[in-house]
Homo-oligomer: A and B are copies of this chain.
Amino acid sequence: MSSTRSTAAGASGARGRSTPQGHLQQPGSTVTLERDGDTEVKRTLLPGGLRVITEHVPGVRSASVGIWVQVGSRDEPVSVAGAAHYLEHLLFKGTARRSAAAIAEEIDAVGGELNAFTAKEHTCYYAHVLDEDLPLAIDLVSDVVFDAMCAPADVETERGVVLEEIAMRDDDPEDLLHDAFCTALMADHPLGRPVLGTEQSITGMTRTALNGFYRRRYTMPRMVLAVAGNVSHRGVLSLVRKALRDRLVGDRSPVAPRVGRARLGSAARLVLHTDDTEQAHLMVGVRALDRHDDRRFTLSVLNAALGGGMSSRLFQEVRERRGLAYQVYSSVAAYADTGHLSVYTGCQPERLGEAAGVVREVLREVARDGFTDAEVARAKGSLRGGLVLGLEDTSSRMSRIGKGELAYGDHLTVEQTLDRYAAVTADEVAKLARELLGRPLAAAVVGPYAHTDDVPVQLHEVSK
């Protein structure tokens, strides 16, 4: 892992902010993190170590609630690969107060959405409801997260569902490809493993392992409860106190944001998943920046100009000029201590050699010359508009504050984020492109090839 790292505290300091990070806040205290017109973001540290963060969004009739837990698939020993995700399923199967059917009936009756997702570094349980149903939403999400039974019979029933989810992933070439690419790039590091686990690990998972994982990992200091919508901070605190009652005791401090240094083997690997698909699906990329790296705003601009929209280099060269693919795009992932920049495309197998060649040529040009000023200006405009447009629903706003608190222990206002994008220069983008695209390439392919030798993709470094 060779990217330059700055600690979360350092990144916060660089922004010149005086508000303490969530895990350093005084227990019982409340701070205001953002105020912009009628919008207001506040955070309170409750006894027991739970952080509650809210955003009042004017003019909406809904609310989104999420409990973000700093637990994900990278926390699993290999013997219980997939435990975090399996557990996420299991928590909806019943609590001390509610059966699985009752949980489903209560949320359906108000037309709300109740769901969860598991990622490599966190798990989130959330609900989206009309504002008048906020008390129910907070009670339901809290009940599921804190008071699930993990009954042995439910472990067995849900095992079948998780195995079906793995089979479904196997039938989705893009999902399969993404998992294969992570393996190619990060090898046997926990970050390189699929969140879902394997058929073998799920088949062998015991109730004891799952329940132990639950009891050890689902603690308040690892959690952020986030709410956005037509809500008041005081009102949310009152509902949280009612839902969690005697659990809110003790002066435990929240855990600090996840940092670390992934020990990764060498890359430049090609992982092939042989499948009788109509299209050959290719993902190729390099290790990039961890999420604490201050250059992440520059990377976002690079990504947008490379393969973010219809006017990006990749879309224009691969689809518009040559009609080689329906889908082609680049994307960025950032973890606590590493990340990646990758390109996806899919086309009929007999055209993969040509498409991969065009992708490679685009990467080579960008590594050598960066982008024009016009391309960088457009990428910045695109990020600006996309950020503002993407924050119109309460779910996105809830995610922004909840995930941000978990990842950074800190809050960046929309204005501050826009300023960071605006400050990026074409030179910075070119310099970062040169550095990142000079790293060893890794690739994954899903398609009708028997051996990696049959795959018409070159993995020499692009800068050579």
A-side interface residues toward B, CB under 8 Å?
58-62, 93, 100-101, 103-105, 107-114, 128-130, 133, 156-165, 167-168, 170-173, 276-279, 281, 308-312, 315-316, 319-327, 346-348, 377-379, 381-389, 392-394
**Nearest B residue to A64, CB-CB:** B389
Which residues of chain B are within 8 angstroms of A347 by Cβ–Cβ distance? Answer: 164, 167
Q: Are A388 and B111 in contact (CB under 8 A)?
A: yes
Which residues of chain B are within 8 angstroms of A388 by Cβ–Cβ distance? Answer: 61-62, 111, 130
Which residues of chain B are within 8 angstroms of A163 by Cβ–Cβ distance? Answer: 348
Q: Are A276 and B276 in contact (CB under 8 A)?
A: yes
Q: Are B59 and A104 in contact (CB under 8 A)?
A: no
Q: Are B173 and A315 in contact (CB under 8 A)?
A: no
Q: Are B172 and A104 in contact (CB under 8 A)?
A: no
Q: Are B61 and A59 in contact (CB under 8 A)?
A: no
CA distance A370 to B457 in the complex (A): 57
Q: Nearest 9 CB-CB pairs, A to B?
A: A111-B385, A59-B59, A160-B323, A104-B310, A104-B311, A157-B323, A167-B278, A164-B326, A108-B309
Known A-B contacts A163-B348, A326-B168; the reply to A385 vs B278 at CB < 8 A is: no
Known A-B contacts A105-B311, A171-B173, A378-B105; the reply to A112 vs B389 at CB < 8 A is: yes
**Nearest B residue to A170, CB-CB:** B278
Which residues of chain B are within 8 angstroms of A108 by Cβ–Cβ distance? Answer: 308-312, 378-379, 381-382
Q: Can you show 16 pairs from A to B with CB atoms below 8 A apart?
A: A59-B59, A59-B60, A61-B392, A105-B378, A107-B310, A108-B308, A108-B310, A108-B311, A108-B312, A109-B311, A111-B381, A111-B384, A112-B385, A130-B388, A157-B323, A167-B348
Q: Are B161 and A323 in contact (CB under 8 A)?
A: yes
CA distance A133 to B387 in the complex (A): 15
Known A-B contacts A112-B389, A311-B104, A394-B392; the reply to A159 vs B128 at CB < 8 A is: no
CA distance A160 to B171 in the complex (A): 24
Which residues of chain B are within 8 angstroms of A101 by Cβ–Cβ distance? Answer: 311, 316, 320
**Would you give the shortest CB distance from A133 to chain B, in whole angstroms?**
7
Which residues of chain B are within 8 angstroms of A111 by Cβ–Cβ distance? Answer: 381-389
Known A-B contacts A161-B325, A311-B104, A325-B161; the reply to A389 vs B129 at CB < 8 A is: yes
Q: Are A165 and B311 in contact (CB under 8 A)?
A: no
Q: Are A109 and B62 in contact (CB under 8 A)?
A: no
CA distance A178 to B105 in the complex (A): 29
Q: Are A157 and B278 in contact (CB under 8 A)?
A: no
**Would you give the shortest CB distance from A354 to chain B, in whole angstroms?**
11
Candidate in A59, A319, A325, A326 with the most chain B CB atoms within 10 angstroms: A326
CA distance A171 to B277 in the complex (A): 6
CA distance A322 to B385 in the complex (A): 46
**Would you give the shortest CB distance from A383 to chain B, in whole angstroms?**
7
Q: Are B385 and A129 in contact (CB under 8 A)?
A: yes
